[in-house]
A and B are shown apart, each in its own frame.
Chain A
Amino acid sequence: EVQLVESGGGLVKPGGSLRLSCEVSGVTFSNAWMSWVRQAPGKGLEWVGRIKSKTDGGTTDYAAPVTGRFTISRDDSKNTLYLQMNSLKTEDTAVYYCTSVLRFLEWSDSWGQGTLVTVSS
């Protein structure tokens, strides 16, 4: 069974930075495609971005609102996915979910429990 455990959320001021981590087990992480999805309090889901496995090119893609500010990366030696968030805005406040993604099909088939990021002065 795939398990994903996010960490690193918290309170940050507008303009600040934060790095989220997601530790993955139960799957060969190096072969996994991974993504981040967020959910603002009381709102719907928003796709943030995706990273392919290194063997499939390691390509990243991002949603328009976070392009240029957020970076997804991975450390296959640590079975860990990262989301580096810079120039944070109040509208980035959300629960951030780490998900595994069906290879090539790109659907999120396993989800972590989420970590809350609050951007406020």
Chain B
Amino acid sequence: EIVLTQSPGTLSLSPGERATLSCRATQSVSSKLAWYQQKPGQAPRLLIYEASNRATGIPARFSGSGSGTDFTLTISSLEPEDFAVYYCQQRSKWRGSFGQGTKLEIK
């Protein structure tokens, strides 16, 4: 079973700052990794898939990078609506799994 570990657990930043979120897999998932955003009381939203491809309608300030076991989600300049929980997901095997999430909160 592939386990995804996200860090940090909580990230406190101010609007306009750059956010860097990490996701590490226990074994290589190649580029089979996605990032989702979830706001309180809402369903998750797909941001990035195949490690670096932005989903439809996602602003350019969101970018993803990495391959193998180490991945990064970067938000170049935080907007007030970006404060949420972010999850990574792998689909390198026929069973998927999610990371435990990173909460991005306003400092």
A109 touches B55 (CB 8 A): yes
A44 touches B101 (CB 8 A): yes
Q: Does B34 contact A (CB under 8 A)?
A: yes
| Interface size counted on chain B using CB atoms at 8 A | 23
Segment of A9-17, A72-80, A82-90, A99-107 engaged in the interface with chain B: A99-107
Segment of B16-24, B65-73, B74-82, B88-96 engaged in the interface with chain A: B88-96
What residues of A have a CB within 8 angstroms of the CB of B94 in the complex?
61
**Count of inter-chain pairs, beta carbons less than 8 A:** 57
Closest to A45 in B: B98
State whether A111 and B98 are in contact (beta carbons under 8 Å apart), knowing that A44-B87, A45-B36, A45-B87 are contacts in the complex.
no
Which one of A50, A63, A107 contacts B49 once the chains associate, using CB atoms below 8 Å?
A: A107
B46 touches A109 (CB 8 A): yes
Q: Does B60 contact A (CB under 8 A)?
A: no
Interface of A toward B, CB cutoff 8 Å? 37, 44-47, 50, 61-64, 97, 102, 105-109, 111-114
Interface of B toward A, CB cutoff 8 Å? 1, 34, 36, 38, 43-46, 49-50, 55-56, 87, 89, 91, 94-101
The 8 closest A-B pairs by CB, nearest first: A111-B43, A47-B96, A107-B49, A45-B98, A106-B91, A107-B34, A44-B101, A61-B94
